[in-house]
Structure 1
């Protein structure tokens, strides 16, 4: 709860910093705020679970762990907005505050114990994302991305809310514990179809938020049109919060109805893995490739939902979310630095980067290898733990299919590496990309974290 209060209060204070008409103070101020929130969140790690708002929100180890991921991700991402500071970006204070306020929604999503709190958290997070998607007002692609995201997100929210209403009508409760009791022992069996329809509608709404197929159609266009800095936030923080919320919903409220929803979640998993990986192969833009990559990783995280194997699945989703977030921030960070200077986002923009900027090439390589699940990176053990949870429940066929899709992903993840190390730079791209010392330090830290998670996975593999 301390994290929510700090983000809300300090986010408002950050808005007032905009009146100083000096962007130079905004970046360090945002990082200090996030560091304070991250530290305050860690203080709750060993504290006894505590509920707020009549049991609608609970701060426990689960919520603290995932709050730590979304806060750390944002903290590591903020330095890559330095170009906005340097260029005197208008409304920068507002954009930073929107990210801080959106984290409040993300924390609500990982801490909720009541469907109303889940809905409020999703809306706080989503509304902020609709705004930042169109933050580049002079760019037609950004305007298109904001409009598509807003319209499709509004429909998804309506579907989610309708599902919540039907679940309430069938169970008479919004609390996850009370819903679980009603699922096990329904007061009136005639309401069972209403409950099932409500569950499916809720699954549709949340699947949209995490870019799962077949509710993924907005993702490539929105990710491509949204400024790269905010795209990185959307593909990491939103996905992490969404899956943490989804896992809690299935584990606490609907576990007793597992035989009903397993086929649906299984179908979404297979479709997401297939569309995400095959779609990424066909892309010529690095940014769109990363968008389809984000879809594919939603499929891997869905395997943890299919397994629903208690702490084994919870720890797998936690570790995978952390490893994925770190590698994704690194890849989008390098892409933003390169694209800002060279004004392109295709694979050719990376040609010869190993000669002009060895550090950027190294960090991008580590990130690509981690996202592909290559050993000695965090991504390998993220998939290992997720697959292990599924194998423990007997889903061998699903794991085999996921491994095959991982082999497909190696192709498109190695394309940036080949471009950086094996292809000469074009004539107009032989100048080194300008990278500040602080950004270089953050990139090194991201690479080291990725390797550390791959070398010493036991440090964070059993935190829940």
Structure 2
């Protein structure tokens, strides 16, 4: 709760800082604030507080853990906004404020114990993303991305809200524990069709938010048009919060209906893995590849949902937490390098990365570590994230799904190695100058690579946290 208050207050204060027409204090101020929020979030460990009317928001260890991921992700991402400071971007204060407000929505999604709180969190997060997707107002692609995201997001929100309404009509409650009780002991069997339709509509609405197939078609176009900095935020924070909310909904509110929704989640999982990996392999743009990569990783995270066995603790939940952290760190590194290259070489395709190992060895190394982690190669965090999820799913008997995911991971190796080949085996353009990287960004890139390797070498460091 303290985290939400601090983020809301500083988001408003940040808008007033914009009147000073000086962007230099915004970045260090935002990082210091987020560090303070991270500290207050850790202070809630083992507290188990409940806030708002009828405990609509619960701050337990689950909430603290996933909130920590979204806060760390944002802190590590912020240094890549320095180009906005150098260009004296007049709207930077507003951008930072929207990022902070979106974190409020993300935390509400993670800690909700009432469906209305989930809806409010999704809307706070989504509205901020609609605006940030169109932040580059002079770019037609950015305007197109914002319009597509807004229109499709509005439809998805309507579907989600209709699903909530049907769930309430069938059970008479919005509270998660009471939903589970009402579903387990239905008072009126004639309301089961309403209940089932409501569950399906909610799965569709949340599936859109996390880019799960077949509700993912907005992802490549929106990511391509959205400024790279905000696309990275969208690919990490939004996905982490979305899956934390998805897991909580299925485990706490709908376990009694598992026989109904489980085949749907399994089908979504297989389809997401297939379309995400095959789509990524067909791309010629590194940025669109990362967009489809985001879709494919939603498929791996869906395996974790399938394997949870009705609990927020245990191997599957730990795997989801570990995977979310490893994926977020590697994705920030990849988008960070791509942003620096695109700004100074003017290209977001694979050719823009040609010869990067010769002109900027550090950037090439960090991008390589990120690609290996996203591909799930050993000694990286991504490998152990997948390993933990696959083991949890296999223990629950979902062998076929695990085998299919392993095959799709092999497809992923192909397109994740394409940037590495371009950087190390292709010649740099004759007029290619070294990419300028300032000290803060250099430190952040090294830190991202280090975290990825540490997560791969010491997987027990955060094991069993849930």
Task: Give CA deviations for 1:23-80 in whole Å, capped at 9, x if unaligned.
Answer: 1111111111111111111111132443433210000000000000000000000000
Using the TM superposition, give the Cα deviation of residue 272 of structure 1 relative to its aligned residue in structure 2, in angstroms: 0.2
Q: Determine the structure 1 residue equivalent to 2:299.
A: 299
Q: Determine the structure 1 residue equivalent to 2:16.
A: 16
Q: Determine the structure 1 residue equivalent to 2:66.
A: 66
Q: 1:160-171 counterparts in 2 under 5 A?
A: 160-171=160-171
- 2:438 pairs with 1:461: no
Corresponding residue to 1:320 among 298, 320, 323:
323
Q: Determine the structure 2 residue equivalent to 1:177.
A: 177
* SS at structure 2 position matched to 1:58: strand
Q: Determine the structure 2 residue equivalent to 1:116.
A: 116
Q: Determine the structure 2 residue equivalent to 1:438.
A: 440
Structure 1 gap ranges (5+): none
Distance 2:376 2:256 in 1: 33
Using the TM superposition, give the Cα deviation of residue 389 of structure 1 relative to its aligned residue in structure 2, in angstroms: 1.2
Distance 1:330 1:424 in 2: 23
* SS at structure 2 position matched to 1:425: coil
Distance 1:153 1:48 in 2: 33
Corresponding residue to 1:447 among 421, 424, 449:
449
* SS at structure 2 position matched to 1:427: coil
Distance 2:124 2:106 in 1: 8
Q: Determine the structure 2 residue equivalent to 1:50.
A: 50
Instruction: Call closer, same or farther: CA 1:48–1:117 in 2, change over 3 Å.
Output: closer
- State the TM-score, normalized to the length of structure 1: 0.99
Q: Determine the structure 2 residue equivalent to 1:370.
A: 373
* SS at structure 2 position matched to 1:428: coil
Distance 1:199 1:398 in 2: 23
Distance 1:441 1:404 in 2: 36
Q: Determine the structure 2 residue equivalent to 1:215.
A: 215
- 2:291 pairs with 1:288: no
Using the TM superposition, give the Cα deviation of residue 261 of structure 1 relative to its aligned residue in structure 2, in angstroms: 0.7
Task: Give CA deviations for 1:158-186 in whole Å, capped at 9, x if unaligned.
Answer: 00000000000000000000000011001
Distance 2:33 2:137 in 1: 27
Q: Determine the structure 2 residue equivalent to 1:410.
A: 413
Q: Residue 50 of structure 2 contacts residue 56 of structure 2 at CA under 8 Å; is this kept in 1? A: no
Distance 1:405 1:135 in 2: 34
Task: Give CA deviations for 1:54-108 in whole Å, capped at 9, x if unaligned.
Answer: 2100000000000000000000000000000000111110000000000000000
Distance 1:60 1:36 in 2: 19
Distance 1:313 1:97 in 2: 34
* SS at structure 2 position matched to 1:154: helix
Corresponding residue to 1:428 among 426, 431, 451:
431
Q: Determine the structure 2 residue equivalent to 1:347.
A: 350
Distance 1:200 1:146 in 2: 27
Q: Residue 134 of structure 1 contacts residue 142 of structure 1 at CA under 8 Å; is this kept in 2? A: yes
Structure 2 gap ranges (5+): none
Q: Residue 49 of structure 1 contacts residue 61 of structure 1 at CA under 8 Å; is this kept in 2? A: no
* SS at structure 1 position matched to 2:258: helix
Q: Residue 47 of structure 2 contacts residue 59 of structure 2 at CA under 8 Å; is this kept in 1? A: no
Corresponding residue to 1:332 among 310, 330, 335:
335
Q: Determine the structure 2 residue equivalent to 1:234.
A: 234
* SS at structure 1 position matched to 2:47: coil
Q: Determine the structure 1 residue equivalent to 2:400.
A: 397
Q: Residue 21 of structure 2 contacts residue 90 of structure 2 at CA under 8 Å; is this kept in 1? A: no
Using the TM superposition, give the Cα deviation of residue 191 of structure 1 relative to its aligned residue in structure 2, in angstroms: 0.5
Q: Residue 52 of structure 1 contacts residue 58 of structure 1 at CA under 8 Å; is this kept in 2? A: no
Distance 2:39 2:77 in 1: 17
Distance 2:456 2:42 in 1: 23
Using the TM superposition, give the Cα deviation of residue 187 of structure 1 relative to its aligned residue in structure 2, in angstroms: 1.1
- State the TM-score, normalized to the length of structure 2: 0.99
Q: 1:246-261 counterparts in 2 under 5 A?
A: 246-261=246-261
RMSD: 0.7
Distance 2:53 2:145 in 1: 36
* SS at structure 2 position matched to 1:50: strand
Using the TM superposition, give the Cα deviation of residue 198 of structure 1 relative to its aligned residue in structure 2, in angstroms: 0.0
Task: Give CA deviations for 1:202-254 in whole Å, capped at 9, x if unaligned.
Answer: 00000000001000010000000000000000000000000000000000010
Q: Which moved more, 1:35-44 or 1:47-56?
A: 47-56
Using the TM superposition, give the Cα deviation of residue 190 of structure 1 relative to its aligned residue in structure 2, in angstroms: 0.7
Distance 2:90 2:66 in 1: 32
Using the TM superposition, give the Cα deviation of residue 306 of structure 1 relative to its aligned residue in structure 2, in angstroms: 1.1
- 2:164 pairs with 1:148: no
Distance 2:116 2:66 in 1: 20
Using the TM superposition, give the Cα deviation of residue 411 of structure 1 relative to its aligned residue in structure 2, in angstroms: 0.2
